[in-house]
């Protein structure tokens, strides 16, 4: 009986790589959805910014960097972007500090914690449109409640046209934005506070630390990563603010509360899709630059300390 002998299979030289496909299969649906609904539109928008297109026409015209050239030389674009920066500067300070102090307040109190948490978070769950319309009536020069309240408490000198005065229209919209957004910061800080071991606070209390010392030497340092997250969130929302300003002022009077998203929206409304996407692309680059820079700086500080 003939026997056949096969030579033993030779093992490949060098280290053997084995790719386990299973984890990739698990994340595949999420990746597909992300590519279709997030990455795809961003890339399509970037691509579109090099064309003249009116959204409905079947034809487009390639014009290279002409839209970018126009936008970067458009004083109204820089005006809108500067307002986003003002918004950003205020948004990382006011709603964040309000959120922090209210979170600490709720964390400290024993009675009514659930009530205060719910009441203070309530504005955050309203639609931006509802909030804008509420504030539109609060600011109404004749029927609004803000001016009469100021007069009632002896601050009549401060009454004015909150949305009609170009010098303060942007800040008036910021107040409405703050009212809608501090609740998010508060609940995130509250979650962070609950993660801090109570032993640290107990030890500080035994050592005689007062409220201020506990806040600045325990609470805030322990919430380092939470701060990074909350501020990053504020960067995104401040640079992408739209609904509140659009409903309250439409970017006016005379562009005094204009921001990039309203600038882009105006372009879309005029069927200038190339201009609109070019402006949106520039804004995206600015947001990515600021947020990435901020996160890297926080990481570097965290590592160096």
Partner 1 sequence: MSKNQITMLLQRLSMILLIALLLGLLSLASVAAQDATDILVWSLGYSGDYNDTLVERFNEAHDDVQITYEDVLTGTFTENNQKVRIALENEAGPHVLGGVDVGANLQALVSTGQVRDLTEYYRASGLIDRIPPNLLAQVTVEGRIYAIPQNMESVGIFYNKDLFAEMELDVPSEWAEYIDVLEAVKDAGYYGYTMGLAGGWPSALMASMFMYSSAGSEYIDVLSGTQPWTDCDNCLDGLNAFYGMVENGYANPEPLGIDYDQSLDLFYQGINAMVLNGPWFIDASVSAAPDFEIGFFYLPAVNPNTDIKTLGGIGGSIIIAEYADVDAAFKVVDWLTSEDVAVQALREAFVLPAFSIDVPEDIDPLTYQIASETAANVDKIGFWPVTYLPPKVFGDMNQIVQGMIGGMLSPEELLSEMQETHSTYLAEN
Per the CB < 8 A criterion, the answer to whether 91 and 234 are in contact is: yes
Q: Tell me whether residue 163 or residue 180 sits nearer to partner 1 (CB atom).
A: 163
Q: Tell me whether residue 213 or residue 270 sits nearer to partner 1 (CB atom).
A: 270
Question: Among 68, 70, 229, 294, which residue interacts with partner 1 (rule: CB under 8 A)?
Answer: 70
Contact pattern for partner 1 over residues 166 through 205, marking x by CB under 8 A: x---------------------------------------
User: What is the C-alpha separation between 108 and 129, in angstroms, rounded?
Assistant: 33
Give the HSE-up count for residue 279: Cα atoms under 13 Å, Cβ half-sphere: 28
Question: Among 163, 190, 239, 260, which residue interacts with partner 1 (rule: CB under 8 A)?
Answer: 163
Coil, strand, or helix at residue 52?
A: strand
Give the CA distances from residue 102 to residues 98, 116, 186, in Å, rounded to whole numbers and listed in that order.
Answer: 6, 9, 6
Q: Tell me whether residue 70 or residue 121 sits nearer to partner 1 (CB atom).
A: 70
Query: Closest approach of Cβ 124 to partner 1, in Å?
Result: 25
217-276 residues in contact with partner 1 (CB under 8 A) are 249-255, 258, 266-267, 269-272
161 binds partner 1 (CB under 8 A): yes
Beta bridge partners, 62, equal 51
Indicate left, alpha or beta for 167 from its phi (over 0: left) and psi (-120 to 50: alpha).
alpha
Query: Closest approach of Cβ 165 to partner 1, in Å?
Result: 8
Beta strand segments in 60-217, E? 61-62
Helix then strand count (H, E) for the chain reads 16, 2
- How many residues make contact with partner 1 (CB under 8 A)? 31
Which of these, 131, 78, 39, lies nearest to 263 by C-alpha position? 78
Q: Tell me whether residue 132 or residue 193 sits nearer to partner 1 (CB atom).
A: 132
Contact pattern for partner 1 over residues 122 through 151, marking x by CB under 8 A: --------------x--xxxx---------
274-303 residues in contact with partner 1 (CB under 8 A) are none
What is the sign, positive or negative, of the torsion defined by CA atoms of 52, 278, 45, 247? negative
Interface with partner 1 by CB under 8 A: which residues? 54-58, 70, 136, 139-142, 161-166, 249-255, 258, 266-267, 269-272
């Amino acid at each position: 009986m003939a026997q056949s002998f096969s030579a033993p299979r030779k093992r490949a030289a060098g280290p053997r790589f084995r790719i386990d496909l299973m984890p990739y299969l698990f994340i595949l649906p999420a990746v597909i959805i992300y590519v279709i609904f997030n990455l795809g539109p961003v890339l399509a928008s970037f691509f579109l910014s090099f064309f003249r297109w009116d959204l409905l026409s079947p034809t487009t015209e390639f014009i290279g960097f002409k839209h970018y050239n126009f936008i970067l030389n458009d004083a109204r674009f820089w005006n809108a972007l500067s307002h986003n920066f003002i918004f950003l500067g205020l948004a990382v300070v006011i709603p964040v500090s309000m959120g922090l102090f209210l979170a600490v307040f709720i964390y400290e109190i024993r009675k009514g914690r659930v009530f205060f948490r719910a009441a203070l978070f309530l504005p955050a769950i309203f639609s931006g449109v509802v909030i804008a319309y509420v504030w539109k009536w609060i600011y109404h020069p004749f029927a609004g409640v803000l001016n009469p309240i100021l007069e009632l408490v002896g601050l009549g000198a401060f009454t004015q046209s909150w949305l009609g005065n170009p010098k303060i229209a942007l800040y008036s919209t910021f107040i409405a934005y703050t009212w809608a957004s501090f609740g998010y910061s508060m609940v995130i800080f509250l979650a962070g506070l609950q993660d801090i071991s109570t032993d640290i606070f107990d030890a500080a209390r035994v050592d005689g630390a007062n409220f201020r010392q506990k806040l600045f030497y325990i609470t805030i340092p322990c919430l380092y990563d939470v701060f990074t997250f909350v501020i990053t969130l504020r960067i995104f929302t401040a640079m992408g603010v739209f609904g509140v300003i659009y409903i309250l002022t439409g970017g006016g009077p005379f562009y005094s509360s204009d921001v990039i998203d309203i600038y882009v929206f105006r372009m879309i409304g005029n069927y200038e899709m190339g201009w609109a996407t070019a402006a949106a692309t520039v804004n995206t680059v600015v947001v990515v630059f600021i947020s990435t820079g901020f996160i890297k700086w926080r990481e570097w500080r965290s590592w160096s300390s």
